[in-house]
Amino acid sequence: MSFPIHTLRQPRTIAIIGKYQSRRVSDALIALAAYLQERGVSVFIERETAEHMGRPDELSRWMVCGFMDIGAHADMAIVVGGDGTMLNAARRLARYNVPLVGVNQGRLGFMTDIARHDMLSAMDALLDGQFQPELRMLLDAEVIRARREIANNLALNDIVIDKGATGRMIECELFIDGEFIYKQRADGLIVSTPTGSTAYALSANGPILHPALTGIALVPLCPHALTNRPVLVDDHVEIEIVVTHANDARAHFDGQVTLNLHRGDAIRLRRSEYSICFLHPPGYRYFSMLRQKLHWGERPSDEENAARRRDRAADADA
C-alpha cells in the first residue's frame, strides 16, 4: 500500500475550526480570523463552528462553509480547541490532504501545541513557512455483521472495543493477517496508533510510541489473564477482532463515534490510505512536549521545598 506525500505551499486560504459552544474559543477565533485577514489571507470559518458561536454580525466578514469546501479550497486549517476538536477535524479532512495547525484551548493538548497567548505571534512564523510538517497515520475500521459491512470509520487516536455499560467482561478473539492470536476475556481492547499512544492506551499501561513509528499497539483493558500484555504490530497487517460473547459491547472511534456491537460481529482494522499532516511551530520537540504534559522529572518549586523543610523540622522537634 502506498501513502500520500504532503507538499506544503504558501497559504493563501486558511480555514478556522473551533471547539463548539465556548465563549473563550469564540473570542480567539474572531481575533485569529481578523489577524489573518490583515495579513492578506482569505479566511473560511467552518460551518458548525460558526453556528455554535452565535455571533453572525461579527462573522459576516468571512466565508462560512462545510468540511467538503474546506477540503477542496483551503491550503491549511487552524484548529482552536483541544485534542478532541483536532481529532474530529483530522478524521473529516484526512482524505483532502489539508494540513492542520493546533491552538490549545483545552487541557493537555498533545496535538494542539500552540498556546493561546502565543497564537498571533505564531501565525507570523506560519505564514513565513517556518512551521515543521509531520505526518500521522490513521486507522480504517469496518464492522461486519452477518457477512455484511454495517459501518466504516477512520480513527487518528484509537479504536476501542469495550463492555459498554454493563459490569460483565466481554470475550473477543484476535486475528492478525488471518492468524488466530488469542481469545481474551477483559473489559475490552484498545487498538492505538502512535498518536493515540498518549491517550486512552497510556491510561491502560500501553507503551508510548513516537509519532515517527508506524506500528499499531494492541492494549488489553483489564484482562482476566495477566499474561495478556500490550503488543506492538506492523502497520501493514490486517487486524480482526471478533466478539464471541458480550451483553452490551461497543466500538468507539477516537472516543467520538460509538457503535453498538452484537455477538459474532467482526471489527476489521488496517492502516488507512489517508494520513494527516500536522504543522508544528519552530522549536517543537516531541519529547519536550511529553516532559511538559506528563511532568517528567519535574523539580519541586521553592514553596514545596520550604514546606518540606518545615515538615522535617516539625518532625525533629516532635
Statement to judge: residues 110 and 146 lie in one domain? no
Question: Average pLDDT in the 141-162 region?
Answer: 97
Domain boundary among 114, 130, 146: 130
Q: Which of 70-74, 224-228, 297-301 has the lowest mean pLDDT?
A: 297-301
pTM of the complete model: 0.88
Give the pLDDT confidence score for residue 107 in this predicted structure. Answer: 74
Distance of CA 70 to the CA centre of its chain: 20
Asked if residue 305 belongs to a domain, the reply is no
Amino acid identity of residue 72, one-letter, is A
* Average pLDDT, rounded, for the chain: 90
Owning domain of residue 181: 138-274
HEC string for the chain: CCCCCCCCCCCCEEEEEECCCCHHHHHHHHHHHHHHHHCCCEEEEEHHHHHHHCCHHHHCCCEEECHHHHHHHCCEEEEEECHHHHHHHHHHHHHHCCCEEEEECCCCCCCCCEEHHHHHHHHHHHHCCCCEEEEEEEEEEEEEECCEEEEEEEECCEEEEECCCCCCCEEEEEEECCEEEEEEEECEEEEECCHHHHCHHHHCCCCCCCCCCCCEEEEEECCCCCCCCCEEECCCCCEEEEEEECCCCEEEECCCEEEECCCCCEEEEEEEEEEEEEEECCCCCHHHHHHHHHCCCCCCCHHHHHHHHHHHHHHHHC
Query: What is the C-alpha separation between 63 and 151, in angstroms, rounded?
Result: 33
CATH of the domain at 38: 3.40.50.10330
Strand partners, 239: 176, 269
Cα distances (Å, whole numbers) of residue 105 to 32, 54, 62, 127, 295: 13, 19, 22, 21, 19
Question: For residues 297 and 173, which has the higher predicted lDDT (pLDDT)?
Answer: 173
Report the percentage of the chain scoring pLDDT > 70. Answer: 90
Q: Which of 97, 130, 163 is the last residue of a domain?
A: 130
Judge if 77 and 149 occupy the same domain: no
Q: Does a structural domain hold residue 24?
A: yes
Tell me: do 30 and 74 sit in the same domain: yes
Instruction: Report angle CA 157, 244, 146 to the nearest 5 degrees.
Output: 85
User: Residue 156 domain-assigned?
Assistant: yes
- Whether 39 is covered by a domain: the verdict is yes
Same structural domain, 96 and 174: no
Q: What is the pLDDT of residues 29-80, one digit of tens each?
A: 999 999 999 999 999 999 999 988 877 788 889 999 999 999 999 999 999 9
Q: Is the pLDDT of residue 304 over 80?
A: no
The HSE-up count of residue 264 (CA atoms within 13 Å, CB side) is 5
- 300 against 28, higher pLDDT: 28
From the candidates 27, 69, 75, 83, which is the catalytic residue? 83
Is residue 311 one of the residues assigned to a domain? no
The question of whether 254 is a catalytic residue gets the answer no
198 and 121 together in one domain: no
The answer to whether residue 209 sits within a structural domain is yes
Residue 4 maps to a domain? no
Residue 151 lies in a domain: yes
Largest distance between two CA atoms of the chain: 75
Cell 497487517 identifies what position? 237
Q: Decide if 98 contacts 70 (C-beta within 8 A).
A: yes
Q: Do 107 and 43 share a domain, yes or no? A: yes
Same domain, residue pair 122 and 184: no
Could you report the per-residue pLDDT of 92-135, keeping only the tens digit for each?
999 999 999 999 987 778 999 898 889 999 999 999 888 999 99
pLDDT greater than 50 at residue 2: no
